[in-house]
């Protein structure tokens, strides 16, 4: 039974029992406590916690939820039952049925004959566990369902009691296990051997309320819940193992094809040695998880969800290299996973190109990292062993991480493979030191690791006077020159130099506003200023290039701000205040600034908020900001004490350290009053239009709005207007009618695609009757071998093969089909029950055929499939299959 059919049967069983079918939620929910959805009940938490009333008829629901768990990522492949991505089928009751209903529903689906929509498992091989004192559940299992007492085992809190880990709902569990037989381990039920006895279903009886945990993890039961709930979870992958007759989750129809492709691309063979088997499983598991994460919008990065994705993808790439791959593999693995998963997740096809693009970019980058980092690690490991040591030093591991971009988890893996340990205390100390350097570098950005003591003389004796609020030019004296981290007295044309002046009109980067651009001029000397940074909040360091002439200490120069740059920066920074004020009006006072960046014409504004903003909220924020622009309010600045500023209601932002004297910027009175040292326009109308581009998540509980201001906003609106006009012209519709018109066209396109797919299927199936007439007899076996027209996919071949097998039922018959599909040749072998009884094994025939087309495949005795890389060998493969059948 294919996995997608297992899903369908589960859902239908509970829909027939009165449950509402709920689609899987995204792996990424707006829940600050979770990196990914890790259990089927997560999307239903508001109903279990009583925060919302369930909107489902009969107060019951069923779903098959996408889940990802990565805490024990290093165990993947070592055990044969662990996946980072899995599908959790669940049924839920919110105050409806309780223990007896949940137990009956589960038992019925598991044991009901396949012909009646069940899974057809042998009830004699099912065992159950209950919580130690849950006599009620034990009684239902024994006296109502009929499970013998000797197959009901009681287990403790660690195994059979559930809570969220915090005060709230809790309750006992009952788990269902399948006995896989003596080949898998010792007798005695789940308490004796959970490898032989595979857990397939967990029933949670949510009936109590618990208090907080003590230091030992114990908690008090406060009483019964006013509403008793049911939360159950059946592992789709584990049931697929049982119903497909395979040993583990890596050999089911969803993952084994990936291993087959990995064998083709690496030249290694699965099931030959343990280390390689682990690598094959890592490839299969992590590829699928990575694909599902990219599908739901995660992109590789160095933090949070993106880091998890990057780590998974890099483990796939490295495992393939260790198996023998010499070229790129990730795209092939992902394409295979998308083929196997698409029947259950049709949205994959719409995102196929995007997913493959992400994979290609990541693999290209990591292969470069892997080459340089692996070479360094090998040299390091060899030198450590030569010295008779067993530990990779913390500084060595940090160098791999910091210089070569080598993740520490990869270093740990490679060290373990080399029989070495890693000094993690030393590594963590290096990381801490780096964070401290980064903190300092934030204050004096772009000074690298220069010794800041070089600036000490100016910090102590000659702090820079900033004149830029009132003027854009100033006569200044060169007090200091720094080149390459060293104080110098002169610099010539072409030198990169840092200049310290007694006064300056150029703004130094701070408060999210980028530094001014400008120049220093004195006669023939022209120095282009590209950046200005503050040291100790007192000295302005002008990072510059000497374009012509020369400069020396004591020289008088005219410092000039690039007026165009400053004007755009002032517009963007003042627009940031407007966005903040509008946000607080729309979302309330809890939406406070968490960071910002302002450059001419553009701003991004980070704020603390846990929910995605709606289109309506974004429109309202943009409207309010532009209303303030239109009203042309004066932008007032006041210099005062910190206490007086707070008394005025001025906002102090995201942990800034303010001195005793501060600058308050006020726009439209109470609408926006903030502490801010940036440069601003004189009145709100000078900002020009503000165009809100959108908002996104930038971490747990934080979101980001991006916008244009001034001419950049005008140009943005002009481009949008031109785009809308062009689309309206093409569709011959008014601009206001475009949403409805595009929606209508989209629906028509979807309908046409469905119709084309249906016609394609009908065309294939319409020819099966004629094909049956062409079957030939080899001894006692009827054989139908055909290469179908080009372009028939492996899935369609399977459908046609199954249909032909049905038409040939009642006699020993074998169907062998293939079709050229681009440079590949998918092929299928299907055998009737009578042929199987004679000794035919479709899986063996698939391997025989595969030898002639450079392909591999597998399956069950009655149905198997594969794919080859040399379509030209098909005729020889067909003859080989005939020869094999002729010997029966």
* Model pLDDT for residues 574-620, shown as the tens digit of each residue: 999 999 999 989 988 767 777 889 999 999 998 877 678 999 999 99
* Cα(149)–Cα(146) distance, integer angstroms: 9
| Beta-carbon contacts of residue 267 (< 8 Å; ≥ 6 apart) | 323, 324
- Residue pair 47/216 in contact (Cβ under 8 Å)? The answer is no
**pLDDT tens across 3-56, in order?**
999 999 999 999 999 999 998 988 987 665 678 988 888 888 878 876 677 888
Is beta strand 486-488 parallel, antiparallel or unpaired with respect to 539-548?
unpaired
pTM given for the model? 0.51
- pLDDT score, position 403: 62
- pLDDT score, position 758: 75
How far apart, in Å, do the first and last CA atoms of the chain sit?
28
Is the alpha carbon torsion for 861, 862, 866, 868 positive or negative?
positive
- Residue pair 721/728 in contact (Cβ under 8 Å)? The answer is no
* Cα(554)–Cα(745) distance, integer angstroms: 72
* Cα(624)–Cα(583) distance, integer angstroms: 9
Annotated binding site for Zn(2+): 573, 577, 676, 680
Tokens of 876: 């020889």
Beta bridge partners of 857: 866
**pLDDT tens across 455-496, in order?**
877 876 788 999 999 999 999 999 999 998 888 999 999 999
- pLDDT score, position 658: 55
Sole residue written with tokens 């070495």: 420
- Residue pair 73/84 in contact (Cβ under 8 Å)? The answer is yes
Beta bridge partners of 503: 465
Sole residue written with tokens 């029992």: 17
- Burial readout 419-436 (b: 16 or more C-beta within 10 A, e: otherwise): ebebbeebbeebbeeeee
Q: How many residues does the chain have?
A: 888
Q: Report the candidate in 130, 123, 166, 168 with the shortest Cα–Cα distance to residue 146.
A: 123
Q: Report the candidate in 871, 823, 828 with the shortest Cα–Cα distance to residue 846.
A: 828
- pLDDT score, position 441: 43
Q: Report the candidate in 648, 680, 645, 674 with the shortest Cα–Cα distance to residue 661.
A: 645
- pLDDT score, position 448: 35
Edge-first strand order for the sheet with 602-608 is 593-599, 602-608, 702-709, 690-699
With residue 577 as reference, give the H or E element that holds it. Answer: helix 563-587
- Residue pair 631/668 in contact (Cβ under 8 Å)? The answer is yes
- Burial readout 818-828 (b: 16 or more C-beta within 10 A, e: otherwise): bbbbeebbbbb
- Work out the angle at residue 78's Cα, subtended by the Cα atoms of residues 76 and 83, and round it to the nearest 5 degrees: 30
Is beta strand 465-466 parallel, antiparallel or unpaired with respect to 518-522?
unpaired
Domains of the chain: 3-247 (3.30.930.10), 256-367 (no CATH), 452-561 (2.40.30.130), 571-718 (3.30.980.10), 767-886 (3.10.310.40)
H-type helices in 254-407, by residue range?
Answer: 256-266, 274-295, 304-323, 330-341, 347-350, 352-386, 394-404
Low-confidence residues in the chain, pLDDT < 50: 438-439, 441-451, 654-657, 700
- Residue pair 500/544 in contact (Cβ under 8 Å)? The answer is no
**pLDDT tens across 647-669, in order?**
777 876 533 445 567 899 999 87
H-type helices in 600-675, by residue range?
Answer: 615-631, 642-647
């Amino acid at each position: 039974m294919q996995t997608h059919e297992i899903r369908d049967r589960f859902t239908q069983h509970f829909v027939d029992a009165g449950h509402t079918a709920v689609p899987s939620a995204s792996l990424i929910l707006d829940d600050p406590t979770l990196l990914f959805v890790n259990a089927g009940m997560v999307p239903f938490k508001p109903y279990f916690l009583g925060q919302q009333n369930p909107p489902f008829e009969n107060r019951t629901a069923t779903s098959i939820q996408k889940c990802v768990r990565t805490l024990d990522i290093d165990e993947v492949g070592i055990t044969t039952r662990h996946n980072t991505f899995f599908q959790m089928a669940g049924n839920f009751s919110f105050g409806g049925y309780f223990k007896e209903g949940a137990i009956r529903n589960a038992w019925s689906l598991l044991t009901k004959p396949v012909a009646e929509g069940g899974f057809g498992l042998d009830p004699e091989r099912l065992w159950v566990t209950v919580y130690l004192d849950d006599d009620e559940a034990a009684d239902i299992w024994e006296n109502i369902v009929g499970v013998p007492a000797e197959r009901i085992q009681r287990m403790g809190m660690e195994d059979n009691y559930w809570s969220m880990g915090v005060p709230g709902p809790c309750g006992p569990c009952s788990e269902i296990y399948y006995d896989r037989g003596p080949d898998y381990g010792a007798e005695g039920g789940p308490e004796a051997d959970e490898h032989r006895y595979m857990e397939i279903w967990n029933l949670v009886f949510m009936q109590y309320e618990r208090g907080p945990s003590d230091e030992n993890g114990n908690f008090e039961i406060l009483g019964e819940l006013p509403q008793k709930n049911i939360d159950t979870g059946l592992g789709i992958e584990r049931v697929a193992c049982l119903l497909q007759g395979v040993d583990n989750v890596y050999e089911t129809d969803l993952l084994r094809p990936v291993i087959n492709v990995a064998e083709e691309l690496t030249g290694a063979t699965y099931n030959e040695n343990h280390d390689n088997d682990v690598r094959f499983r890592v490839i299969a598991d992590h590829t699928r998880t990575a694909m599902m994460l990219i599908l739901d919008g995660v992109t590789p990065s160095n933090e949070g969800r993106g880091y998890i994705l990057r780590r998974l993808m890099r483990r796939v790439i490295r495992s393939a290299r260790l198996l023998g791959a010499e070229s790129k593999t990730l795209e092939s693995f992902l394409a295979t996973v998308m083929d196997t998963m698409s029947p259950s997740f049709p949205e994959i096809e719409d995102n196929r190109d995007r997913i493959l693009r992400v994979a290609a970019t990541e693999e290209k980058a990591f292969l470069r990292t892997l080459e340089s980092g692996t070479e360094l690690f090998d040299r390091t490991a060899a030198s450590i062993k030569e010295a008779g040591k067993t530990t990779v030093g913390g500084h060595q591991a940090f160098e791999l991480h910091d210089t070569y971009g080598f993740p520490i988890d990869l270093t740990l893996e490679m060290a373990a493979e080399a029989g070495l340990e890693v000094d993690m205390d030393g590594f963590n100390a290096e990381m801490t030191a780096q964070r401290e350097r980064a903190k300092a570098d934030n204050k004096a950005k772009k000074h690298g690791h220069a010794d800041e003591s070089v600036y000490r003389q100016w910090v102590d004796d000659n702090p820079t006077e900033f004149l830029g609020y009132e003027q854009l030019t100033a006569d200044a004296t060169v007090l200091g020159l720094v080149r390459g981290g060293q104080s110098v007295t002169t610099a010539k044309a072409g030198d990169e130099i840092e200049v310290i002046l007694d006064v300056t009109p150029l703004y130094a980067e701070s408060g999210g506003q980028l530094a001014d651009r400008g120049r220093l001029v004195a006669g023939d000397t022209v120095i282009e200023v590209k950046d200005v940074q503050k040291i100790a909040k007192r000295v302005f360091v002008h990072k510059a290039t000497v374009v012509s002439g020369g400069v020396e200490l004591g020289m008088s120069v005219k410092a000039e701000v690039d007026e165009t740059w400053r004007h755009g920066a002032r517009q963007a920074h003042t627009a940031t205040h407007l966005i903040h004020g509008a946000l607080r009006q729309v979302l309330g006072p809890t939406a406070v600034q968490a960071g910002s960046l302002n450059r001419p014409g553009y701003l991004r504004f980070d704020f603390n908020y846990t929910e995605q903003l709606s289109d309506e909220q974004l429109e309202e924020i943009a409207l309010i900001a532009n209303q303030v622009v239109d009203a042309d309010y004066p932008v007032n600045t006041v210099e005062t004490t910190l206490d007086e500023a707070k008394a005025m209601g001025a906002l102090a932002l995201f942990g800034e350290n303010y001195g005793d004297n501060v600058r308050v910027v006020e726009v439209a009175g109470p609408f926006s009053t903030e502490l801010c040292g940036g440069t601003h326009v004189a009145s709100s109308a000078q900002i020009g239009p503000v165009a809100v581009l959108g908002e996104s998540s930038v971490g747990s509980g934080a979101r980001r709005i991006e916008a244009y201001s001034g001419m950049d906003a005008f140009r943005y609106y002009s481009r949008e207007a031109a785009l809308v006009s062009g689309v309206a012209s093409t569709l011959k519709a008014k601009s206001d009618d475009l949403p409805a018109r595009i929606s209508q066209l989209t629906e028509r396109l979807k309908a046409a695609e469905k119709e084309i797919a249906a016609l394609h299927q009908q065309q294939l199936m319409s020819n099966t009757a004629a094909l049956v007439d062409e079957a030939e007899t080899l001894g006692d076996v009827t054989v139908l071998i055909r290469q179908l027209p080009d372009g028939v996919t492996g899935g369609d071949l399977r459908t046609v093969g199954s249909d032909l097998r049905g038409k040939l039922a009642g006699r020993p018959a074998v169907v062998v089909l293939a079709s050229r599909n681009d440079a590949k040749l998918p092929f299928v072998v299907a055998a009737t029950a009578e042929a199987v009884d004679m000794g035919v094994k479709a899986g063996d025939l698939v391997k025989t055929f595969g030898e002639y087309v450079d392909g591999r495949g597998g399956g069950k005795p009655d149905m198997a499939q594969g794919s080859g890389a040399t379509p030209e060998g098909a005729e020889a493969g067909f003859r080989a299959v005939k020869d094999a059948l002729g010997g029966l």
